[in-house]
Structure 1
């Protein structure tokens, strides 16, 4: 199991968090998505996580990805 953490821009409420969770959960290999609106972060747990697909899912939900934090 691996973990990736992203800083997200444009997120301000639980509806935002739900949109991101929904999109990111559809990426193959994802087993859990934790969205923290207070810190503007998204933490993804899973196997064989594809960084490009995870970033694209966040953008598809309507938010920006400012950087990737290795965990």
Structure 2
């Protein structure tokens, strides 16, 4: 199965702790192989095996305390 890279826009991230919280939550989703969150841009890049489950990503971001705006 090929990997898919998807970028999401998230509001509320302001620091390295925020990046870590979002990364940790999204990393727990089945099929996710890499996550890179950047607070300064509000973007999170998710690499997964197959198409990511947007609702699972939204739930993970909510759990971390931030808001998923949508795909960037």
TM-score by length of 1: 0.91
Q: What stretches of structure 2 of length at least 5 have no aligned partner?
A: none
| Superposed CA RMSD | 0.8
CA distance, structure 2, for counterparts of residue 67 and residue 24 of structure 1? 14
Secondary structure at the aligned position of 2:41 is classed as coil
User: Unaligned regions of 5+ residues in structure 1, if any?
Assistant: none
Note the alpha carbon deviations across 1:33-68, whole angstroms, 9 max, x for none.
001111010000011321110111011100001121
Runs of 4+ residues over 2 Å off in structure 1: none
Number of residue pairs aligned between Structure 1 and Structure 2: 69
Q: 2:37 maps to which residue? A: 35
TM normalised by structure 2 equals 0.90
